[in-house]
Structure 1
């Protein structure tokens, strides 16, 4: 997600709409696949009727769940915005020893799912629960969503206006707020959007920490009731909240001021400041990574845990996680390719609309997509209910935006002159695409696939609702055991999940490093 925030838009400036009809139709069909969960959820809500809708929404318990969700999302977003911006300022404006190390450490919480962090804290503090516990864990794992884009924006921000503000007598904080903040605000708001959506859609952490939100209510209504209209209505409330957040982010984003050539170089602060500034940078990694991993390792090394490991079940969960990750990544890339190809080379209202629908999964919580596809598969294609096909499709809907963003940037970077030369040699559009565009854009397509694969391995709520009987992933095994407080039995699955998700992350880092070196050359 973070890489999409830093991708430069290399699409050509406004020109007459000339996209091939077949590409527009194919992209529209792929985008419409992402809209199936939301459309069917609306249909299901309409069938329930206005009376049942109002009756459900006005129930005291539903209001309580909604207020809990909003309060948690607001608290986590504000905290991450303040803490992430402060950490980004330290990383870019203060000369710290081993600067690359501090940047890497600040991004570590992105590799830990919220429910895994919650599990680690519960191992260390079994009585931990409620709003404060959920706020602490969610803030720790979400802070990098603000830190990384704001740090990138600060590196390119002009220092001229801030210097002028200082000469007029303003202090460092006032000068930053007046001169530099407007330049980095779009990046900060975009990061805050990701934090808010992640918090609203979280199910695993809040369930483990026993803080009842809308995601918890949706799962409870679906699991315990024969009339599942209530689950659909609660899901609609969650979708409305997510769409309100997205709309608010777009309205408040504003224009990015054009920076001047001179940027602010890092400065050396007195030695007494290094410890508090280092502690500030380490806050999220310690809370979101170090303490949970320490709890995991401690429990994993206990003798009774080692003796109780069910090796065949563990290997089965690893195989299922790998297989679903490959399937979800492949389908997400296939659906994203036409949309990315259209958006990379053409502009217009129709193109923007198709791309926006493709990104719809970005605003749909996993539990909503899972619930919608349960209803859809039972009504439209009962034979596919609780099959791998529906589960993989859910992954594609949820994580298609990751593939679209990366693939679009790769296709846009292919020089148009090469395509024109290929066509002038008599090659068809399809052959030109395969020999020129696809080959040059392949690294970016691979990055998108790896991003999706990592996300699939960590996905929990949709997997719980849609997984076929007898198939369990590492995430569902971990959640199932922690739900009944079997922390020792959950440790092997948590460790395997961390190691398994680290493999594509390392590969992804290598691909990005190679791409960066090529850009510099």
Structure 2
């Protein structure tokens, strides 16, 4: 029986079914207040891209050619391309290999390893760089950049791939094995193609993080577009050179998004999720058990051991005095304040978009949602430059205020909330709203008591992931924070830039402590999402 039909039949005589649980008269695109709000949010999300386009349009062709086609840009282009082309494949190998060992083999202690391989994501890349510079002061160049990047970002591939592997239908592998294919052929011919979406998405995240990263590369004096833009901005305050470098960087981001979309394609993949009837049989490692264990121990020692050891070493060397600094407490409280405010604002802005995408799917909803993914893929340096320029010239009253900084966080991290909210709303069918309305509840009350209540856990999860991003955000905060603002990231950066490694260590430790539970939440939620 159709549930919506049965609820309508159960109405009292004369009762009216409201058009929308969110209130307001509906249109073919969805309730018009929701559509209007989503349009405004999308327009807000387009500010960074609009800034880049406007800055390029206002620069004459002669100036553009002079600024873009010069040796310095060629050097930055080479560094950035080399970094991406070396780091992304290495992250794919480590992420897919680690996920396969933890989820599909007889690896001893596989449950512990499954968590440990995600743990390096709790250590900000610039803290990782700080630790490796403490260990090897001469570290630098492309090899240093690749080392730090791979150890910081391979979990971005591991987490989604492990989530898919944990829920992948084993019938496919069993069928392939019954046809005479050995374990390795089954992996490469059957399993690996099913990981295409997760691996491509993880690779995209790694590449975008590489384009956006500033602190990790500035600390080892490895020049990329982001470090050059920041230096140019600080020396000329939003000059044409910084704008043109930002334009090249945004073009890079858009090309990466296009490449990931082409890689993803329209192919259909085997089902994953609760409908799987049997557990996959773990492949016996046999003689490969020891090499696998040694390899994972080495990876964990490099990605977790080195940063934790050196942070601890500097804390012990500094003694109790480094914990008595007044600005340490101020930085912690301000980080928590900005994290909570940014997470709340981002989740609230993402909710109408998620609601429209789930309850009223269609071309308009897809476009409005896609706008946020495109804008949020831009590096924090570009978002910060856009907001600096817009506020200085149009709304100087809010220039360098907390409002602008929280707006930057929302632009950068909205997809984290949006993805979680979509999953939560998908589990709150509209028929439940209609049933509540049939029992006499006004649309808005029905929405609050049913849809909002059922999606609250997903909203909390999305807010937690936004909070994680804000705690570790550096570039936009450095450019946009009001005078006197101290966050853990900015104070760590200020002290480590002055080679005060002992003073910087407590800030590094607090960032790791705040990030660790959020990273675990991300890992757990990714597995739940794969099972939906």
Tell me, yes or no, whether TM beats 0.5: yes
Residue 9 of structure 1 is matched in structure 2 by none
Distance apart, 1:284 and its partner CA: 3.9
Report whether the alignment pairs 1:135 with 2:151.
no
| 8 Å contact from structure 2 (residues 160, 199) kept in 1 | yes
Counterpart position of 1:277 = 292
Residue 416 of structure 2 corresponds to which residue in structure 1? 402
Shifted more, 361-370 versus 71-80: the winner is: 361-370
Q: Paired residue for 1:267, among 265, 279, 283?
A: 283
**Structure 2 unaligned runs (5+)?**
1-26
Other-structure match for 2:15: none
**Contact 2:118 2:519 survives alignment (8 Å):** no
- Output aligned runs, 1:439-454, within 5 Å: 439-454=453-468
* TM-superposed deviation, 1:359: 2.0
Q: Do residues 102 (structure 1) and 144 (structure 2) align? A: no
Does 2:261 correspond to 1:247?
no
CA distance in 2, matches of 1:445, 1:458: 20
Choose 1 or 2 for highest CA Rg. Answer: 2
Q: 1:34 aligns with which of 23, 26, 45?
A: 45
Residue 261 of structure 1, CA deviation: 6.2
Cα 1:425–1:158 shift into 2, 3 Å: closer
- What SS class does the counterpart of residue 469 from structure 1 fall into? coil
Distance in 1 (CA, whole Å) between partners of 2:321 and 2:454 is: 50
Q: Corresponding residue for 1:300?
A: 315
Task: Report the Cα distance in structure 2 between the residues aligned to 1:338 and 1:494, rounded to whole angstroms.
Answer: 36
Structure 1 residue 257 corresponds to structure 2 residue 269: yes
Partners of 1:472 and 1:118 in 2: CA distance: 21
Cα 1:166–1:503 shift into 2, 3 Å: closer
* Offset at residue 179 of structure 1 (A): 2.3
- Do the aligned partners of residues 315 and 205 (structure 1) sit closer, same or farther apart at CA in structure 2, a change above 3 Å counting? same
Change (3 A) 1:200 1:509: closer
Which residue, 54, 73, 80 being the options, matches 1:62?
73
Coordinate RMSD, CA, aligned: 2.4
Query: Does structure 1 conserve the Cα–Cα contact (< 8 Å) formed by 2:118 and 2:155?
Result: yes
- Within 5 Å, give how 1:498-513 maps onto structure 2: 498-502=512-516, 504=518, 508=521
**What is the CA distance between 1:338 and its match in structure 2?**
0.6
The answer (yes or no) to whether the contact 2:124–2:152 under 8 Å persists in 1 is yes
In the aligned structure 1, how far is the partner of 2:523 from the partner of 2:376? 26
Q: How far 1:197 moved relative to its partner? A: 0.8
Match for residue 20 of structure 2?
Answer: none
5 Å-filtered alignment, 1:37-436, equals 37-159=48-170, 162=173, 172-225=183-236, 228-254=239-265, 255-259=267-271, 264-270=280-286, 272-302=287-317, 304=318, 306-309=320-323, 311-436=325-450
Contact 1:123 1:296 in 2 (8 A): no
Q: 1:51 to 1:173 in 2, by over 3 A?
A: farther
Deviation at 1:381, TM superposition (A): 0.7
Q: 1:509 and 1:215, CA in 2 relative to 1: closer, same or farther beyond 3 A?
A: closer
User: Does 2:491 align with 1:477?
Assistant: yes
Compare 375-384 and 425-434 and name the one that shifted more: 425-434
1:438 aligns with 2:449: no
- Contact 1:120 1:295 (C-alpha < 8 Å) held by counterparts: yes
Please say if residues 238 and 385 of structure 2, whose CA atoms lie closer than 8 Å, have aligned partners that are also in contact. no
Contact 2:375–2:411 at 8 Å: present in 1 too?
yes
**1:385-414 CA distance string (max 9 Å, x none):** 111110110001100111111111111111
Per the alignment, do residues 400 and 413 of structure 1 end up closer, same or farther by CA in structure 2, a change over 3 Å counting?
Answer: same
Match of 1:4 in 2: none
Partners of 1:75 and 1:135 within 8 A in 2: yes
TM-score, structure 2 as length reference = 0.88
Tell whether 2:469 aligns with 1:455: yes
Question: Are the counterparts in 1 of residues 253 and 378 from structure 2 also a CA contact under 8 Å?
Answer: yes
CA separation in 1, counterparts of 2:484 and 2:251? 34
- Give unpaired runs (5+ residues) of structure 1: 1-15
Q: Deviations over 1:248-268 (max 9, x none)?
A: 001111323325966641133
CA positional deviation for 1:17: 4.2
